[in-house]
Amino acid sequence: MATTHAPRYSRHAAGLLCAAAAALVLGGCGGAAQHRTASAGERGAGPSGPSSGPSAGTGAGEVPEATTFTTVHGAPRDAEPQGATDGTVAHPTRPVPVFDRPGGRRVAVLPATELGGPTWVPVVETSGDWRRVLLPSRPNRATGWVAGTGLRTARTPYTVRVEVAERRLTLLKSGRRAGRWSVAVGGPRTPTPVGRTFIMASVLPAKKSPSPLVLPLGTHSATLDTFGGGPGTVALHGWPDASVFGKAVTHGCVRVPADALKALSRVPLGTPVLITA
């Protein structure tokens, strides 16, 4: 398959998106945290696949939408949290059912949009016409199977690597280093969660914030249920005070220098992000 890019998406936040953007901007930066109470060009339509079972609208109340605001119970856990992918990303052209295995039990509905932009998720496994994708929901490392019908696919050449102990972010393009920066990561009580995730959205905050752009990831704080009114979503974003880089001082987000944020702004949605301890 030829290398193509999933489209970038950003916009000024409004309504729900505005509230989400504010929470995501501040989720690793400041404000009052609430601790947990317990513990790009498209390739066209995806290949024709097996029947995906009931439509997303049928019995939709029985399972949640797979978004950053929800928990998907019964979703299979990512078995290779540091595994590389071939760069394939998928976009549902309409809400599609998510199953715990090909043709198995429906556990969620993957919506066509996330935080006001198009949903693009990484494909981590293929079985016939079925695609196993990473989900943006809790619990972290949640995955699900979707049928190829109703999907568009693309290829991202990028991978983002975050080394928490080294407090370093590396951007790879076609396997070659395109940039490396010292960054700030989560502090001891609110660590940046490790594992395989992805760039879920691109948000331009409507109000003045520490970062002109926020890139929410499909992963959440393991120690915070909520932050600033949002769901504790971890994000990549800028920070005006360069003295924080190289330190473990955030509430889980990864703060990056301005040139890193500029480079990351060109990375397609759905691009894998590998976070290591």
Do 271 and 163 lie in one domain? The reply is yes
Q: Which residues are catalytic?
A: 237, 253
Range of the structural domain that residue 113 is part of: 88-155
| Helix/strand number for the chain, H first, E second | 2, 21
Q: Which residues contact residue 29 at a Cβ distance below 8 angstroms, ignoring those fewer than 6 apart?
A: 210, 237, 239, 250, 251, 253, 255
pLDDT on residue 11: 37
Q: Where is pLDDT greater, at 83 or 61? A: 83
Domain end call among 155, 180, 210:
155
Residue 55 falls inside a structural domain: no
Do 165 and 242 lie in one domain? The reply is yes
- Cα–Cα distance between 223 and 175 in angstroms, integer? 33
Residue 149 falls inside a structural domain: yes
- Cα–Cα distance between 167 and 163 in angstroms, integer? 6
Residue 206 falls inside a structural domain: yes
pLDDT on residue 37: 23
Do 167 and 253 lie in one domain? The reply is yes
Q: What is the pLDDT of residues 153-204, one digit of tens each?
A: 999 999 999 999 999 999 999 999 999 999 999 999 999 999 999 999 999 9
Number of domains, the chain? 2
Terminal Cα distance for the chain, rounded: 33
Do 112 and 166 lie in one domain? The reply is no
- Cα–Cα distance between 251 and 107 in angstroms, integer? 30
Which range is least confidently modeled, 2-6, 120-124, 153-157, 238-242?
2-6
What's the pTM? Answer: 0.83
Do 180 and 245 lie in one domain? The reply is yes
* HSE of 89, CA atoms in CB hemisphere, 13 A: 32
Do 179 and 267 lie in one domain? The reply is yes
- Cα–Cα distance between 54 and 97 in angstroms, integer? 8
Residue 97 falls inside a structural domain: yes
Q: What SS3 state is found at 220?
A: strand
Do 191 and 170 lie in one domain? The reply is yes
- Cα–Cα distance between 251 and 186 in angstroms, integer? 5
Phi, psi at 22, each rounded to 5°: -60, -45
Residue 59 falls inside a structural domain: no
Which one-letter DSSP state was computed for residue 265?
T
Which range is least confidently modeled, 24-28, 111-115, 227-231?
24-28
Residue 43 falls inside a structural domain: no
Domain end call among 139, 155, 171:
155
Q: What is the largest CA-CA distance in the chain?
A: 54
